[in-house]
Amino acid sequence: MRSITPQDAAIIEVAGGVDTHSDTHTAAVIDQVGRVLGTEQFPADTAGYAALLDWMRSFGQLVGVGVEGTGAYGAGLARLLHRQEVLVIEVDRPDRKTRRFQGKSDPIDAVQAAKTALAGERTGVPEQRDGRIEALRNLRVARRSAVDQRADAQRRIKTLIVTAPDDLRERLRSLGVKDLIITCANLRPDRTGAASPATAVKIALRSLARRHQQLTAEIADLDELLEPLVAAINPGLVAANGVGTDVAGQLLVTTGDNHDRLRSEAAFAMLCGAAPIPASSGKTNRHRLNRGGDRQANKALYRVVICRLRWDPRTRAYMERRTKDGMSKKEIIRCLKRYVARELYQLITTPNDLELAA
């Protein structure tokens, strides 16, 4: 570790790196040629974040900090650094080859994060998590969990019906989902006969159906909060053809409050996994399917495309034209997702009237 005098600290430019964990953060500082100036561990709380920043600044002028996990354990530190107007750079964890040669420890990872941020490799500007879109993300987490659990309850109801006694199975198997849930929720089994399979299946069906109804009510309550919030953030996006509240909410969460971190519509398409990956070599010039990016955002773009294929004349005409060119339906949908990403990027990054008024 080098000894830094106060005079040196006033003129030296340094970069920091942080390996984040739930209870502690390990920080490292390097100079502009990559020499390690120091490593230190701090508690992962408000006082620890402040001490970490003061420690880094003691080595010189801090030009940026590479942080692993800005969307998880490093979220609190990233918020503090942003408030202190320190450039925060989100870095990926070291790849397997690097770890195989350098080993694995918290200080090693912190130094590697600093070097990666300094070199500009595999880095990105993290999302800001202190605005309305962070509130939107939290509500969507609860809604998505409720939707998944409701679907699971519905699947289990239908599975129990398959092996239920013949009279009960015949009574329930032809009902639609809505009537099935109501019927099962209104069953009145004799609880004293729970040891009997016929009674036990009725108790289980009633329990699952009432859980389904409770989750449906939770989803409706969350939708009442989400719809005005998404419309207030970006009304133009919600009104776009085939978008709506759910798709708009997902795309807003994907881009974050600081959508200016996306340099172009191509960067937004790559973030959504809708930009093909170059796979050329020699005389072969081709692209391959992009299976990376935010898969929930990719799913949102897919839903927009499917909706427009059903209702939008221009999209249907494009499908017919490319089909005649010999393209498959999957290939056409991939092209359409790329076009939709370009269109929606303009809506996401254009300030709306409410933002201008604020």
Structure confidence by residue, pLDDT tens digits, 264-304: 899 899 989 998 888 788 777 777 888 888 899 999 999 99
DSSP reduced 3-state for 19: strand
One domain, residues 138 and 89:
no
What is the pLDDT averaged over residues 24-34? 93
| Residue 230 token pair | 């998404």
> What is Dmax (Cα atoms) for the chain?
88
Domain encompassing residue 203: 132-233
Interval 168-190: pLDDT, tens: 999 998 899 999 999 999 999 88
DSSP conformation class of 284: B
Dihedral (C-alpha) 313, 319, 323, 327: value to the nearest 10 degrees?
Answer: 170
One domain, residues 160 and 226:
yes
What is the pLDDT averaged over residues 15-42? 93
- Name the domain boundary from 92, 124, 156: 124
What is the pLDDT averaged over residues 319-326? 93
What is the pLDDT averaged over residues 257-262? 82
| Residue 192 token pair | 């004293």
| Residue 28 token pair | 């490292």
| Residue 119 token pair | 């070199």
* CB atoms closer than 10 angstroms to residue 54: 9
User: Residue 36 — very low, low, confident or very high, per pLDDT cuts 50/70/90?
Assistant: very high
- Cα–Cα distances (Å) from 181 to 137, 157, 185, 271, in that order, read 30, 9, 6, 39
- Name the domain boundary from 124, 143, 174: 124
Q: Is residue 189 part of a domain?
A: yes
- Name the domain boundary from 169, 200, 233: 233
CA atoms within 13 A on the CB side of 46: 1
One domain, residues 92 and 167:
no
Q: Is residue 5 part of a domain?
A: no
Interval 194-214: pLDDT, tens: 778 889 999 999 999 999 999
| pLDDT beyond 80 at 355 | no
* CB atoms closer than 10 angstroms to residue 175: 14
| Residue 80 token pair | 């503090």
Mean pLDDT of all residues belonging to the chain: 88
Angle at 153 between CA 148 and CA 159, to 5 degrees: 125
User: How many residues belong to the chain?
Assistant: 358
Query: What is the identity of the amino acid at 297?
Result: A
**Locus of tokens 């320190």:** 86
Residue 66 has φ and ψ, to the nearest 5°, of -90, 125
- CATH number (domain holding residue 116): 3.30.420.10
- What does DSSP say about strands 61-68 and 88-91: parallel, antiparallel, or unpaired? parallel
One domain, residues 225 and 276:
no
DSSP reduced 3-state for 67: strand
One domain, residues 344 and 240:
yes
Per the structure, the count of domains in the chain is: 3
Query: What is the identity of the amino acid at 126?
Result: P
Q: Is residue 162 part of a domain?
A: yes
Q: Is residue 4 part of a domain?
A: no
Please give the pLDDT value at position 7: 53
Q: How far, in Å, CA of 347 to CA of 355, rounded?
A: 13
Interval 102-137: pLDDT, tens: 667 888 889 988 988 888 766 677 777 778 999 999
Q: What percent of the chain has pLDDT over 70?
A: 91
One domain, residues 26 and 52:
yes
One domain, residues 95 and 106:
yes
Please give the pLDDT value at position 99: 62
Q: What is the pTM of this model?
A: 0.79
Tell me which residue of 7, 68, 57 sits closest to 29, measured CA to CA. 57
Q: Is residue 340 part of a domain?
A: yes
Tell me which residue of 242, 286, 246, 270 sits closest to 341, measured CA to CA. 270
Question: Residue 226: enclosing H or E segment and its boundaries?
Answer: helix 197-233
**217 CB-contact burial (10 Å; exposed 0-12 / middle 13-18 / buried 19+):** exposed
| pLDDT beyond 50 at 354 | no
One domain, residues 66 and 17:
yes
Q: How far, in Å, CA of 331 to CA of 190, rounded?
A: 56
Q: Is residue 341 part of a domain?
A: yes
One domain, residues 118 and 140:
no
* CB atoms closer than 10 angstroms to residue 66: 30
Q: How far, in Å, CA of 271 to CA of 274, rounded?
A: 8
Q: Is residue 105 part of a domain?
A: yes
Q: How far, in Å, CA of 311 to CA of 304, rounded?
A: 11
What is the pLDDT averaged over residues 239-258? 92
| Residue 67 token pair | 């942080």
One domain, residues 18 and 107:
yes
How large is the angle between the packed helices 132-162 and 177-185, nearest 10 degrees? 80
| Residue 110 token pair | 């912190």
One domain, residues 213 and 225:
yes
One domain, residues 27 and 42:
yes
Q: Is residue 3 part of a domain?
A: no
- Cα–Cα distances (Å) from 352 to 39, 304, 322, in that order, read 45, 21, 35
